[in-house]
Amino acid sequence: MNYRHGFHAGNFADVFKHALLVRLLVYLSRKETPFRVIDTHAGEGAYDLSADEAQRTGEWRGGVGRLAALSDSSAEVRALLAPYLDCLGPLDPEGRPALYPGSPAIIQKLMRPQDRAIFCELRPDAFAALRRRFARDARIRSIHIDGYMGLGAYVPPKERRGLVLIDPPFEREDEFDADFDAFMKAYAKWSFGIYALWHPSKSESDVRKFYDRLTGSGIRRILRLSLSVGGSEEGLRSCGMVVVNPPFVFEREAQTILAFLAERLAQGENAGAQAAWLAGE
Ligand code: SAM
């Protein structure tokens, strides 16, 4: 396990993932009944973008670093991004938050007293940071466990409503397959849950095979979202997220957010975004 999210925190892929994650959480919190969130690959929870790791790559500058001035964007974009920007807090003159919130910090911020969350993380140092950060919040359990195993063990949650975020590092060659298999097993036990599966789009054939397997599963209501920043530099330029059982309003909200991000985070030719159904109703 070499992957350390600190190098990538706040980059375009995080902004894409987290801006959409926030909309799913906002939707869940519209009903009074409690929800549960399971974050299978949680990371450390929050990241210091002045630390050596983030400084070395500077990736955050192409992501959260471009969100400082939204006054020229539409009122709709600003309203949809407002809860995400709240999670970021004040930005310094370079566009850097005091700490960049990872998915666990975002989930914590949008939970209410009645909601619960489980954060799984396998890397010992990341887990230690995660546990420390959330130790005093009785609504949250941080668990040192393989995320796919944790997912199998903790669904269905007793709340019956909620969200699973599957956000692995894609270091394993078979990560798409492991991701798909774990999702299918969880879905068989909890078909009402909302599932958000993030993935890099480095290998077109891996992504196509993953989508084909999802389409072939017979599961309905699968929305796929993607963002490409374009340009020709080395490294990740494009990523996607598959959302199963998205809330009714989510597709339209995602379209609006993605159109904005595709323009704001573009780094060169071929930047763009898409939201389309892999399988509809
Ligand atoms: N979800 C986080 C966020 O949005 O802030 C980022 C997660 S990062 C992409 C992936 C994390 O998975 C890393 O912290 C890595 O240590 C952890 N990890 C790697 N293999 C794992 C496994 N088998 N089970 C759980 N966590 C794992």
- 146 catalytic residue (yes or no): no
Is the pLDDT at 71 greater than 90? The verdict is: no
pLDDT for 192 equals 96
pLDDT band at 157 (very low <50, low <70, confident <90, very high): very high
pLDDT band at 262 (very low <50, low <70, confident <90, very high): very high
pLDDT for 276 equals 96
Q: Report which residue type is found at 77.
A: V
Residue range 192-199: average pLDDT? 98
pLDDT band at 116 (very low <50, low <70, confident <90, very high): very high
State which of 2, 5, 12 you would mutate to test the pocket of ligand 1, scoring each by most atoms of that ligand within 8 A of its C-beta.
5
pLDDT tens-place string over residues 171-181: 999 999 999 99
Which of 100, 99, 141 has the alpha carbon at shortest distance from 119?
A: 141
pLDDT tens-place string over residues 74-84: 999 999 999 99
Q: Which residues contact 182 (CB under 8 A, 6 or more apart)?
A: 40, 147, 148, 151, 152, 166
- Rounded to a whole number of angstroms, the CA Rg of the chain reads 17
Is the pLDDT at 128 greater than 90? The verdict is: yes
pLDDT band at 233 (very low <50, low <70, confident <90, very high): confident
CATH class of the 5-197 domain in this structure: alpha beta
Q: Report which residue type is found at 32.
A: E
Q: Which two tokens stand for residue 273?
A: 């975004």
pLDDT tens-place string over residues 52-63: 999 999 999 999
pLDDT band at 232 (very low <50, low <70, confident <90, very high): confident
Is the pLDDT at 244 greater than 80? The verdict is: yes
Residue range 135-162: average pLDDT? 98
Catalytic residue among 48, 167, 174, 179: 167
Distance 73 CA to ligand 1 centre (A): 33
Which of 168, 156, 187, 162 has the alpha carbon at shortest distance from 123?
A: 168
pLDDT for 64 equals 97
CA 39 to CA 43: how far, in whole Å? 9
Would the CB of 8 count as within 6 Å of ligand 1?
no
Would the CB of 147 count as within 6 Å of ligand 1?
yes
Residue range 96-125: average pLDDT? 98
Is the pLDDT at 281 greater than 80? The verdict is: no
pLDDT for 69 equals 83
pLDDT over 70 percentage in the chain: 100
Instruction: Name the closest-CA residue to atom 21, ligand 1.
Output: 122
Peptide bond into 156 cis (omega under 30): yes
